[in-house]
């Protein structure tokens, strides 16, 4: 799973949101580092829906503009949980090696 996809699932884990709100949520979540392109977001939404990880929650018309809300499915929650565990495991392995390396090499840089 790529980063944008993971972030979309994370955004929806907090509760149903419509597309544009997901973009904003992710931007906030990442301190502005990640601002998904519309193409990326809606393609991801379609794909995740086809995979059964998210589904349409409801549709609203606000100021004559459509808002389509999405929510995480059970499968989506499981998938996000597994992916999160994977991220944490890999971070831990990398940190252990980096720490060991610093002890070995000291402050030396190539």
Residues engaged in binding DNA (CB under 7 A): 1-5, 18-21, 24, 34, 36-40, 42-47, 62-68
At closest approach, how far in Å is the CB of 13 from a second copy? 4
Q: What is the largest CA-CA distance in the chain?
A: 63
Closer CB to a second copy, 47 or 89, in the complex:
89
Closer of 41 and 80 to a second copy (Cβ): 80
Quick one: what does residue 13 bind among DNA, a second copy, none, with the CB cut-off 5 to 8 Å set by partner type? a second copy
Strand 17-18 to strand 54-62: parallel, antiparallel, or no bridges (unpaired)?
Answer: unpaired
CA atoms within 13 A on the CB side of 82: 8
| Residue of 7, 4, 9 lying closest to 52 (CA atoms) | 9
């Amino acid at each position: 799973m790529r980063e944008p996809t993971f972030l979309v699932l994370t955004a929806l884990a907090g509760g149903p949101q419509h597309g544009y709100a997901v973009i904003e949520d992710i931007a906030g979540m990442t301190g502005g580092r990640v601002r998904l392109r519309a193409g990326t977001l809606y393609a991801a939404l379609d794909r995740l829906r086809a995979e059964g990880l998210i589904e349409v929650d409801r549709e609203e018309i606000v100021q004559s503009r459509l808002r389509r809300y999405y929510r995480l499915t059970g499968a989506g929650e499981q998938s996000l949980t597994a992916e999160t565990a994977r991220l944490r495991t890999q971070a831990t392995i990398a940190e252990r090696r980096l720490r060991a390396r610093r002890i070995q090499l000291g402050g030396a840089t190539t």
